[in-house]
Amino acid sequence: MNLLRLRAMARKEFIQIYRDPRSLGMAIAMPIMLLLLFGYALALDVDNVPLVAWDQDGTPASRDLLSRFAASRFFSLRKYAANYRELEEAIDSRRALMALVIPRGFGGRVESGRPADVQLIVDGSDANTATLAIGYADAVALAYSQDLAIRAARRSNGVTLRAPLDLRPRVWFNTDLESRNFIIPGLIAVIMMIIAALLTSLTVAREWERGTMEQLISTPVKAPELVLGKLLPYFAIGLLDLVVAVAMGKVLFGVPMRGNPLLLFAMASIFLAGALALGMLISIVTRNQLLANQAGIVLTFLPAFLLSGFMYAINNMPEAIQLVTYVIPARYFITLLKGIYLKGVGLRILIGDAFLLTLFAVAMVVLANVKFKKKLV
């Protein structure tokens, strides 16, 4: 490989990018836009669940139960209803996700130590949110029941009961359970995969459509020099996008960086090289910009978003789909990002994912070089 020819090829591609401000703007502005859009709009936290209540009892015991829901950060008591029709209207119009119905005689049953029923109506159209909200409601009801049992025991014999099990949870790596802390690292992987593949998927196809590939074929530039020369400018742009994304994650979203930044950039460079080579391979095979763009979206965005573990836990997928995820490079890069970002671990723990990511990058670069032929047909 001749370094002068490689340098000349990279310089030519830099000039091409400079003369196409739309592509350069897309390469810089799109990651920023996607981070802002997904970072602020995509939140998996379930807080302030809108709640309406129908207190048919109106006793201190029923008001005490309602006050516990109102005081919880997971619920927002929006309205006191007077009948079932008002509850239905609130849930149908999405003004409330849950409705709490306290029947008559609730206070009397509680004071006498008898079981008391309370109805909880939940809008199940959003199954995930409804499941989490039911769990929060169960926790509030359990705490209320325990307090009632302790007070009843103290009144009867003066003995203070203690719970037989004192569970004290301690959350590691994401203490406040903020969804942004794992969404932002995953977004970096998805955005890099999309931008890298889409940018390079047009390079060779553009040369064929503009008729300049014949000129390149006639030059002494060898196939590996042409492929690597076209990759280098986009590799530099990808690293710039990575710096911007990491800075935005830290400054705008407050995502902690507990690991080694150098390790992060090293793993990102490997992933970026593989994604760029994948886009180049698509461009070489299709020779058409429109087709290359469509294939780039199908082969990068959808797998990286759906099958990488970014949005949906891989363990919850069907076994056949879990097998498919092993060929998705974003799966390994997201694992690396979360390990470096949140856990602060190094290669001793992440060596397996780093090896598979490197294998992907090497395979894509080799395939791109093998598929590119300096021939007109």
pLDDT at 376 over 70: no
Instruction: Check residues 128 and 360 and name the one with the higher pLDDT.
Output: 360
Nearest to 249 by CA among 191, 205, 292: 191
Query: What pLDDT shows up at residue 51?
Result: 92
Query: Which tens digit of pLDDT belongs to each residue from 209-229?
Result: 776 766 766 777 777 777 788
Q: With pLDDT > 90 as the criterion, what percentage of the chain qualifies?
A: 15
183-187, 240-244, 290-294: which range is least confident on average? 290-294
When pLDDT is cut at 50, 70 and 90, the band that residue 230 belongs to is: confident
Domain 49-157 has CATH 3.40.1710.10: yes
Query: What pLDDT shows up at residue 173?
Result: 78
Query: What pLDDT shows up at residue 158?
Result: 59
Query: Which tens digit of pLDDT belongs to each residue from 83-136?
Result: 889 988 988 888 899 999 999 998 888 888 788 889 999 988 877 788 888 988
When pLDDT is cut at 50, 70 and 90, the band that residue 160 belongs to is: low
How confident is the model over 33-52, as a mean pLDDT?
79
Query: What pLDDT shows up at residue 262?
Result: 92
Domain spans of the chain?
3-43+178-371, 49-157
Query: Which tens digit of pLDDT belongs to each residue from 298-342?
Result: 888 788 888 888 877 888 888 889 899 999 998 999 999 989 988
Query: What pLDDT shows up at residue 267?
Result: 93
